[in-house]
Structure 1
């Protein structure tokens, strides 16, 4: 497994944390963040939503940035921890909320909206007259979760807390990094992260598409294969543990 040489593309702080875990296992990684998390300025709408969380039967937080920014809003506008059922897509997001004293549930298998929609506790939470759900997320997120909740009779509100932007890099930065550090695999943590990878690759994408690509879910795997990626590995989760399991199960390519 130590033959892997990975390009990490998460936001800088997350890539640093993941890189440390990989280094403990003897795995080389290089960080080239492809997502900048830019908070949206606090508005009256945000303040009102946070102060009236008790009108929702469930609050769903879909990412770690949404959890961090949501907790900041709670500390600012709602110092008493609200008695509301919270749900997250994965364990890392849940941990941020739990550290603030919130009651959080998340699917143990699968870090995606599909798995969350099947979670028994979420179904119980919305099994009431006129259920109302608040989703904390970034701009332009997937609609599958809201659609699934509406099909189950829930009203869904969004609280959009940030936008994801592609950091500025000079032309050729991505292929030059891969060549200089002899990287043999790419790691992305979301669909938008993959789209930014393709965008930064530009005309070099057909060549980079031959590298092993580790993705967090079947949806992102499908996007990658449709775009021409040759070897796509679905880690079935975005955690460091999920990535390590996938690395152990797949042979290091001979380049």
Structure 2
């Protein structure tokens, strides 16, 4: 797979970790973070939710930043987290929670809301009278989880912990980097990551849209296709393992 030269767009620390995994398999990558995580200041709503944390039958954490910020917030209010069921969308987020001693369930296949909704442990957690579910996430985002859980009779609340901003770059930073590093593939990890990629590309988007674009889910694939991306590869997950599998299955570019 050494023919690949990939653009990584995750937050800086996550891109660095992914670059290390890719380098071990001989894949060159260059990073231009398109998501900057800004924690939201603790509000009265956050304090109320934390004080009532033991009233929920399940807590769903949808991302690694939500896990890190959420754990820090819980530790401010609880010397030991209350005994309740924790869920995550993917294994990497689950690992952060497990490292803090939490009992976490997550889908073995798929890193998305659809896979989590099929998880038997989640069905079991809300199979009670008047179940309450808390979703820890960033500002905005998909409503699918809450909608489906409400259809199943659960009361769902959000705890929004951070914002995802686009870092400030010179106008031609993205196409200039791709040209300078001779990159031949683009990687995004979320719908907002793709939107920032599209935005930063500007007038160069028609050219960049010709490069293979690796995305984590059918939803992001659809966003990219609608925007004109010509070769979209759904990795069926946002993990390094999912990306490596997709790279193996997709024709390697000729240098």
What band does the TM-score fall into relative to the shorter chain? Answer: over 0.9
Which residue of the partner structure matches residue 104 of structure 1? Answer: 104
* d(CA) in 2 for partners of 1:95, 1:215: 22
User: How far apart, CA to CA, are the structure 1 residues paired with 2:83 and 2:141?
Assistant: 26
> Is residue 156 of structure 1 aligned with residue 151 of structure 2?
no
Give secondary structure in 2 for the equivalent of 1:145.
helix
TM-score by length of structure 2 reads: 0.98
TM-score, scaled to structure 1: 0.98
Aligned to 1:175: 175
**Deviation per CA, 1:157-180, whole angstroms, max 9, x where unpaired?**
000000000000001100000000
Q: Distance in 1 between matches of 2:73 and 2:172?
A: 39
**Aligned equivalents of 1:29 and 1:51: distance in 2?**
44
Deviations 1:78-113 (A, max 9, x none): 111210100000000000001111110001111000
Q: Which stretch of structure 1 is more off in the superposition, 24-33 or 78-87?
A: 78-87
Residues 21-60 of structure 1: pairs in structure 2 closer than 5 A:
21-60=21-60
Give CA deviations for 1:1-58 in whole Å, capped at 9, x if unaligned.
1110000000000000000111111110000000000000011221221232111111
1:67 and 2:83 correspond: no
Instruction: Name the structure 1 match of 2:81.
Output: 81
Q: Secondary structure at the match of 2:182?
A: coil
C-alpha displacement of 1:254: 3.3
SS at match of 1:16: helix
Give the Cα separation in 1 of the matches to 2:107 and 2:2. Answer: 30
Cα distance in structure 1, aligned partners of 2:233 and 2:222: 11
Separation (CA, whole Å) in 2 of partners of 1:15 and 1:254: 25
What SS does the aligned partner of 1:214 have?
strand
8 Å CA contact 1:82–1:102 kept in 2: the answer is: no
| Unmatched 5+ stretches in structure 1 | none
**Deviation string, structure 1 residues 111-146 (Cα, Å, up to 9, x no partner):** 000111111110111111111100000001110110
State the Cα RMSD in Å.
0.8
Aligned pairs, number: 255
